[in-house]
Structure 1
Amino acid sequence: MKITPGAAPGSNNWAVGPGRTASGGALIANDPHLGYALPGVWYQALLRCPTYDAAGMTLPGLPAVVLGRGPYAAWAFTSTMLDEQDLFFEELDDAGERYRRGDAWLPLEVERVAIAVRGRKPQALVLRSTDRGPLFEADPEQGLPPRSLTWASHFGGDLMSAFFVLAGARTPGEVEEGIAGYVAPAQNLVMAFADGTLYQTVIGRLPARRSGDGRLPSPGWDPAYGWDGFLPRTANPRRLFEPPTDAVLVSANNDVRPPGYAQRLPADFFPPFRADRIRERLLERRDWDFEATAELESDVTSRYARQLVAALAGAELSGDAARARDALVAWDGELARRGAAALFALVERQLQGAAFSDEARHFAVPFPGGPDPLLRLLQGRLDPAWLDDVATPDVEGRDEILERALAAAWRQGVKRWGEDVEEWDYGSLHALTLRHRLDAVPVLGRLLRRGPFPLPGSGNTVAAFGSRWQGGSLPVIYGPSMRWIVDWGLPEAARAGLPGGQSGHLADSHYDDQIEDFLAGRLHPAPWSEQAIARATVSELILLP
Structure 2
Amino acid sequence: MNKKILTMPRWLKISIAVSVSLIVLFLVAGFIFYNMLTTSLPRYEGEIVVKGISGKVDVYRDSLGVPYVVAENETDGAFALGYLHGQERMFQMDLVRRAGAGRLSEILGPDALIYDKMLRTVGIKKTSQRIIKVLKPEVLKLLKSYSAGVNQYLKDSKGKYPVEFDILDYDPYKWEPEDCVIISRMMAWELNISWWTDISFTHLVQKLGEEKVKQVLPDWEENAPYVIPSETKSYPKLGTGLIEIDKDLRKILGINGTHLGSNNWVVDGSLSVSGKPVIANDPHLAYSTPGRWYAAVIRAGDWNVEGVTIPGIPAVVIGKNQNISWALTNIMLDDTDFYIEKLDSSGTKYLLNNSWKDLNISEETIEVKDSLDVKLKIRSTHRGPLISDIHPYSFLYPDKSLQRTAISMKWVGMETTEEVNSFYLLNRANNWKEFKEAVGYFSVPGQNFVYADKCGNIGYVFGGKLPKRESTSPTFVFDGTTEKYDWKGYVERPEIPDLFNPSQKFIATANNKTLKNFKYHVSNLWEPSSRIERITGLLTGKQKYSVPDFMKYQMDQVSPYAKMITQYIISAFNNVKATDENLSLTLDLLDDWDYEMNEFSQVPAIHSVFYKYLLKNTFYDELGDDLYNQFIFVSNVPYRSIEKMMKDKSHPWFNNTETPQNEDRDFIIRKSLVDALSELEKIFGKEIKEWQWGKLHTVTHKHTFSGQFSLLDKYIDIGPFPVGG
Q: Do these two structures clear the TM 0.5 threshold for a shared fold by scoring above it? A: yes
Instruction: Report the CA distance between 1:191 and its aligned residue.
Output: 0.8
Instruction: Show the 5 A alignment for 1:94-493.
Output: 94-137=345-388, 139=393, 141=397, 143-144=401-402, 145-241=405-501, 247-258=505-516, 261-315=518-572, 316-319=575-578, 320=580, 321=583, 323-337=585-599, 338-361=601-624, 365-366=628-629, 368-369=631-632, 370=635, 371-380=639-648, 384-414=651-681, 421=688, 424-439=691-706, 440-457=708-725
In structure 2, relative to structure 1, the CA distance for the partners of 1:16 and 1:420 (3 Å cut) is farther
In structure 2, relative to structure 1, the CA distance for the partners of 1:66 and 1:311 (3 Å cut) is same
> Can you give the 5+ residue segments of structure 1 that lack an aligned partner in the other structure?
458-545
Identity of counterpart residues, as a percentage?
Answer: 29
The separation in 2 between residues aligned to 1:189 and 1:110, in whole angstroms, is 39
**Which amino acid letter does the alignment assign opposite residue 442 of structure 2?**
Y
CA RMSD of aligned residues (A): 2.5
**Which amino acid letter does the alignment assign opposite residue 296 of structure 1?**
Y
In structure 2, relative to structure 1, the CA distance for the partners of 1:217 and 1:289 (3 Å cut) is same
Instruction: Report the CA distance between 1:45 and its aligned residue.
Output: 0.6
Instruction: Report the CA distance between 1:21 and its aligned residue.
Output: 1.0
Per-residue displacement from partner, 1:223-251 (whole Å, max 9, x unpaired)?
A: 22201221101122311117xx7611111
In structure 2, relative to structure 1, the CA distance for the partners of 1:90 and 1:162 (3 Å cut) is same
**Which amino acid letter does the alignment assign opposite residue 303 of structure 2?**
Y
The separation in 1 between residues aligned to 2:293 and 2:630, in whole angstroms, is 32
The separation in 2 between residues aligned to 1:271 and 1:184, in whole angstroms, is 22
Return 272-281 or 298-307, whichever deviates more: 272-281
The separation in 2 between residues aligned to 1:368 and 1:393, in whole angstroms, is 25
In structure 2, relative to structure 1, the CA distance for the partners of 1:391 and 1:176 (3 Å cut) is same
Q: Note if contact 1:317-1:399 (Cα within 8 Å) is conserved in structure 2.
A: no
Instruction: Give the secondary structure class of the aligned counterpart of 2:316.
Output: coil
The separation in 1 between residues aligned to 2:598 and 2:406, in whole angstroms, is 49
In structure 2, relative to structure 1, the CA distance for the partners of 1:365 and 1:334 (3 Å cut) is closer
**Which amino acid letter does the alignment assign opposite residue 317 of structure 1?**
V
Corresponding position: 1:29 with 2:29: no
Instruction: Report the CA distance between 1:125 and its aligned residue.
Output: 0.8
Corresponding position: 1:86 with 2:343: no
Instruction: Report the CA distance between 1:119 and its aligned residue.
Output: 4.4
In structure 2, relative to structure 1, the CA distance for the partners of 1:413 and 1:446 (3 Å cut) is closer
In structure 2, relative to structure 1, the CA distance for the partners of 1:415 and 1:215 (3 Å cut) is closer
Q: Note if contact 2:278-2:452 (Cα within 8 Å) is conserved in structure 1.
A: yes
Report the structure, 1 or 2, having the larger strand content.
1
Which of 240, 249, 268 aligns to 1:17? It is 268
Instruction: Report the CA distance between 1:451 and its aligned residue.
Output: 2.1
Instruction: Report the CA distance between 1:422 and its aligned residue.
Output: 5.7
Instruction: Report the CA distance between 1:350 and its aligned residue.
Output: 2.2
Instruction: Report the CA distance between 1:392 and its aligned residue.
Output: 1.8
The separation in 1 between residues aligned to 2:626 and 2:660, in whole angstroms, is 16
Instruction: Report the CA distance between 1:123 and its aligned residue.
Output: 1.9
**Which amino acid letter does the alignment assign opposite residue 44 of structure 1?**
A
The separation in 1 between residues aligned to 2:341 and 2:698, in whole angstroms, is 46
**Which amino acid letter does the alignment assign opposite residue 553 of structure 2?**
L
Per-residue displacement from partner, 1:132-182 (whole Å, max 9, x unpaired)?
A: 110134747364421111111111111111112212222222222233332
**Which amino acid letter does the alignment assign opposite residue 343 of structure 2?**
L
The separation in 2 between residues aligned to 1:6 and 1:189, in whole angstroms, is 19
Instruction: Give the secondary structure class of the aligned counterpart of 1:128.
Output: strand
The separation in 2 between residues aligned to 1:267 and 1:364, in whole angstroms, is 19
**Which amino acid letter does the alignment assign opposite residue 714 of structure 2?**
R
The structure having more radius of gyration, on CA atoms, is 2
The separation in 1 between residues aligned to 2:559 and 2:628, in whole angstroms, is 29
Q: Note if contact 1:9-1:33 (Cα within 8 Å) is conserved in structure 2.
A: yes
Instruction: Report the CA distance between 1:261 and its aligned residue.
Output: 4.1
In structure 2, relative to structure 1, the CA distance for the partners of 1:7 and 1:430 (3 Å cut) is farther
Q: Note if contact 1:16-1:246 (Cα within 8 Å) is conserved in structure 2.
A: no
Q: Note if contact 2:436-2:461 (Cα within 8 Å) is conserved in structure 1.
A: no
The separation in 1 between residues aligned to 2:560 and 2:608, in whole angstroms, is 14
Instruction: Report the CA distance between 1:89 and its aligned residue.
Output: 0.8
The separation in 2 between residues aligned to 1:395 and 1:179, in whole angstroms, is 53
Instruction: Report the CA distance between 1:100 and its aligned residue.
Output: 1.2
Q: Note if contact 1:89-1:220 (Cα within 8 Å) is conserved in structure 2.
A: yes
Per-residue displacement from partner, 1:386-423 (whole Å, max 9, x unpaired)?
A: 22222222222333333322223234445655666565
**Which amino acid letter does the alignment assign opposite residue 427 of structure 1?**
G
Count of residues in correspondence between the two structures: 453
The separation in 2 between residues aligned to 1:218 and 1:277, in whole angstroms, is 37
> Can you give the 5+ residue segments of structure 2 that lack an aligned partner in the other structure?
1-249
Instruction: Report the CA distance between 1:66 and its aligned residue.
Output: 0.7
Instruction: Give the secondary structure class of the aligned counterpart of 2:485.
Output: coil
The separation in 1 between residues aligned to 2:301 and 2:257, in whole angstroms, is 46
Q: Note if contact 1:65-1:163 (Cα within 8 Å) is conserved in structure 2.
A: yes
Report the structure, 1 or 2, having the larger helix content.
2
Instruction: Report the CA distance between 1:428 and its aligned residue.
Output: 0.4
**Which amino acid letter does the alignment assign opposite residue 589 of structure 2?**
A
Return 187-196 or 108-117, whichever deviates more: 108-117
The separation in 2 between residues aligned to 1:197 and 1:322, in whole angstroms, is 53
Instruction: Report the CA distance between 1:185 and its aligned residue.
Output: 1.2
Instruction: Report the CA distance between 1:4 and its aligned residue.
Output: 9.9
The separation in 2 between residues aligned to 1:362 and 1:30, in whole angstroms, is 37
In structure 2, relative to structure 1, the CA distance for the partners of 1:100 and 1:28 (3 Å cut) is same
The separation in 2 between residues aligned to 1:6 and 1:204, in whole angstroms, is 19
Which structure's relative contact order is higher, taking Cα pairs within 8 Å and 6+ residues apart?
1
Q: Note if contact 1:29-1:76 (Cα within 8 Å) is conserved in structure 2.
A: yes
The separation in 1 between residues aligned to 2:300 and 2:593, in whole angstroms, is 54
Q: Note if contact 1:161-1:179 (Cα within 8 Å) is conserved in structure 2.
A: no
In structure 2, relative to structure 1, the CA distance for the partners of 1:329 and 1:265 (3 Å cut) is same
The separation in 1 between residues aligned to 2:689 and 2:566, in whole angstroms, is 17
